Amino acid sequence: MGSEADRYPRRQFFHNNNLFFTLKMLFLLIFTNLVTIFIFSSLPFSLSSSDPPHTHLFLHQETISHLLQELNSTKSKLFDSYSLIADLHHKINSTNFLVRDLVIDIIRERKLSLPVDEEADFFGIPPTTASLSDELKLAILPHKLPLGYSPRMASDEIYPPIGAACLRFQKELAQYMTYDIGGECPMDDVFAQKLLLKGCEPLPRRRCHPKSPIGYVEPTPFPDSLWATPPDTSIIWDPYTCKSYQCLIDRKNFPGTVDCKDCFDLQGREKRRWLYDRGLDYGLDQVLQTKPAGTIRIGLDIGGGSGTFAARMRERNITIITSSMNLDGPFNSFIASRGLIPIHISVSQRLPFFESTLDIVHSMHILSNWIPDAMLEFALYDIYRVLRPGGLFWLDHFFCQGPQLNQTYAPMFDRIGFTKLRWNVGKKVDRGVDKNEWYLSALLEKPMT
């Protein structure tokens, strides 16, 4: 079974320790008593054995008095040291507070000197919303869901969607959101479109009414509306240089560079577009014949000007949505007046369609080398995304410099993964034959698998 010490080793350990401690204390007590006896009974070395006993006692008392004085002096110095330490501690704390306040002031001064972009985070959102107006806060900040947490959203709040770049132009955004609630919106179409083109897309919603045209009449009935010029009273002309549709039709005869200069003349070149198939100009019927009849039903025209491509498709019972900007002309209103569907988005915007839903996507002139390469590649992948398997991408007169075609754009299209059905390259000569400028037209198909 073992001895008591083996069974309880910890108890034996503490017992030995206690015994050692007791002996130690006893030794200290004996030693202290001996020292005390020595102090009170011994004489200084300078005393002679012949001195009388009362002299010894007097010297002995004097020594004790001196020791007490030394002890009191030491105590006093110790208390003074404690006081000095406490004072130093107080000064250190005070210094810490001063340093902290100084750092805060430096940070505050630096923030005031920084431009807004440096104060903002990666997406341009300011660290504080104190400077935003109440209406702007309602338009861009999150709102709590009335029914609480939504499993579908995995959140209990919802953010109004606006472009990330909007908050990099805070002054312009504040101006855009300044109006009388429930009143008439400012006539700021040009200003708003510039903000949109800088990347503030989509713009935040507003709680005001757009100005209504005076003398508005009902639109021309379909299908006559496809090739009819609407009345001037159908729109507000304030944002545009021209103040009538006749002015827009005639401006092709005047010098100067204007986007889609002859787009509003529906009896001119617009009437002949996509009717014939030759070289870079593909005929609409020839393109449709590459797919089984009736399988091209819905699609998108990117940067479609005044909507003529959609009009020609509508004549063939195909619905095309046309994206267009109002660049010194009422392009979206004109498209709508023809009985077609406009959408006011820039080429930078993600296409607002679900994946694999469109039969055809067309783009003429708008997709070209003016777009940064990375942004263009994102746009092409987005087109691939929204096309269904077997869907067509009709790239119409893509403009670039000679070396760019083989070095940049042909490899880019190969990376996207389209199948080439047609591929035509021709020299662009309208600015002179000596320019190394080229057009590319291509009919591309999204693979079935």
Cβ atoms of 360 and 297 closer than 8 Å: no
How many independent structural domains does the chain possess? 2
pLDDT, position 279: 94
Is 71 domain-assigned?
no
Considering only CA atoms, which of 207, 210, 306 is closest in space to residue 261?
306
pLDDT for the residue numbered 183: 97
Last residue of a domain, one of 198, 215, 242: 198
Can you state the angle between helices 53-113 and 9-41, rounded to 10 degrees? 120
- Is residue 304 located within the same domain as residue 407? yes
Cα 429 from Cα 444, distance rounded (Å):
25
Predicted pLDDT at 294 = 96
Residues 298 and 389 in one domain: yes
Q: What's the confidence (pLDDT) of residue 98? A: 66
Whether 288 and 232 share a structural domain: yes
Question: Is the residue at 141 inside a domain?
Answer: yes
Query: Does one domain contain both 263 and 365?
Result: yes
In terms of Cα–Cα distance, which of 303, 306, 321, 327 is closest to 386? 321
pLDDT at 117: 42
Q: Are residues 189 and 302 in the same domain?
A: no
> pLDDT 10s digit of each residue in the chain, 449 long?
444 444 444 444 444 555 556 666 666 666 666 655 555 554 444 444 455 555 544 555 666 777 777 767 766 666 666 667 766 666 666 666 566 566 656 655 654 554 444 444 444 455 455 578 888 888 888 889 888 888 888 888 888 888 878 878 889 999 999 999 999 999 999 999 999 999 899 999 999 999 999 999 999 999 999 999 999 999 999 999 999 999 999 998 888 777 788 999 999 999 999 999 999 999 999 999 999 999 999 999 999 999 999 999 999 999 999 999 999 999 999 999 999 999 999 998 999 999 999 999 999 989 999 999 999 999 999 999 999 999 999 999 999 998 899 999 999 999 999 999 999 999 988 787 788 899 999 999 999 98
Kindly state whether residue 277 falls inside one of the protein's structural domains: yes
Q: Among 143, 163, 198, identify where a domain stops.
A: 198
Mark whether 268 and 373 lie in a shared domain: yes
The answer to the question of residue 83 being in a domain is no
**Chain centre to alpha carbon of residue 134:** 22
In a domain, 400, yes or no: yes
Residue pair 242/248 in contact by the 8 Å Cβ criterion: yes
Are residues 348 and 273 located together in one domain of the fold? yes
CATH code for the domain in which residue 306 is found: 3.40.50.150
Statement to judge: residues 166 and 244 lie in one domain: no
- Residue whose structure tokens are 């102090």: 39
Q: From CA 160, how far away is CA 140, in angstroms rounded?
A: 6
Among 198, 215, 239, give the residue marking a domain's end: 198
Whether residue 392 lies inside any domain: the answer is yes
Question: What pLDDT, on the 0 to 100 scale, is given for residue 104?
Answer: 59
pLDDT at 165: 84
pLDDT of 93 reads 61
CB 345 within 8 A of CB 321: no
pLDDT at 20: 59
Tell me how far CA of residue 109 lies from CA of 13, 90, 382, in angstroms.
Answer: 66, 29, 45
The Cα 298–Cα 392 span in angstroms is: 11
Query: Residue 107 has what pLDDT?
Result: 57
**Residue 275 sits in the same domain as residue 328:** yes
Q: Mark whether 177 and 248 lie in a shared domain.
A: no
The answer to whether position 66 is within a domain reads no
**Domain range enclosing 423:** 224-446
Residues 267 and 371 in one domain: yes
Answer yes or no: do 320 and 241 share one domain.
yes
Tokens of 46: 């300078």
Confirm whether 228 is domain-assigned: yes
